[in-house]
Amino acid sequence: MPRPTNPEVRSRLLSRGGEVVYERGFNGCGVQDITTAAGVPKGSFYNYFESKEAFACEILEEYWLSITTRIAPVLYEARIKPLKRIARFFKDLSEDHAIRNFSYGCLIGNISLELSNGSEDTRLRLANLLTRWERALAECLSEAQERGELSVGRNTGELAAILVEAYEGAVMRSKVEQSGATFDRFDAVVLPRLLA
């Protein structure tokens, strides 16, 4: 009879192994690197995940959960004007990247570049996460329209998608340059023009 899985081991694989993928890239590490970081035998990996690609889907979900728990609540803070909430959300995301000296990038963007053509399940998970991110921004933008901060003629779904695309471009360049200059430009130039 197979041993039941241990939630603590699964959690360690996701957190410590996920850090390895985030730091080195999906293709820059193997299952052995992931299990070594988590302190579990390599064979145990497959008791928790069908494949390395399935693991990627799970660490993406954990990454997004971390953002929604730590950073996204500002998007729903009714005491702050909606457009200021959006600016604060992106500023907080940028500060998160600064903690790692701008060298890791965004796990969503990183795995998009590595796996979107190689794993259909991962591509679908990425698409779902981007849709959820856009939806959260679009809700805030719709509230901005209701409050008269944003023209009612603007398509909030499209604008939210453009914000995500522009920000992900800034993240990619910040990773290349290992600098926060792209985030400064995003805050000072891109956001004001898009949200005008």
**DSSP SS3 for 49:** coil
Q: Where are the alpha helices (DSSP H) in 100-119?
A: 107-115
Residue 83 CA to residue 89 CA, distance in Å, equals 10
Distance CA 104, CA 163 (A): 20
Three-state DSSP class for residue 181: helix
pTM of the complete model beyond 0.85: yes
Within the chain, where are the H helices?
Answer: 7-12, 18-24, 31-38, 45-48, 52-70, 82-99, 107-115, 120-146, 156-177, 181-185, 191-194
Q: What is the pLDDT of residue 9?
A: 93
Residue 2 pLDDT > 70: no
pLDDT in tens, 6-46: 889 999 999 999 999 999 999 999 999 999 999 999 988 99
What is the tens place of the pLDDT at every residue in 96-121? Answer: 999 999 999 999 999 999 998 888 99
Delineate the domains of the chain, giving CATH numbers in brackets.
Answer: 1-49 (1.10.10.60), 53-194 (1.10.357.10)
Residue 5 has pLDDT above 80, yes or no: no
Instruction: For residue 119, give both structure tokens.
Output: 């794993």
How do residues 131-181 score in pLDDT, each as one tens digit? 999 999 999 999 999 999 999 999 999 999 999 999 999 999 999 999 999
Tell me the one-letter amino acid at 134.
E
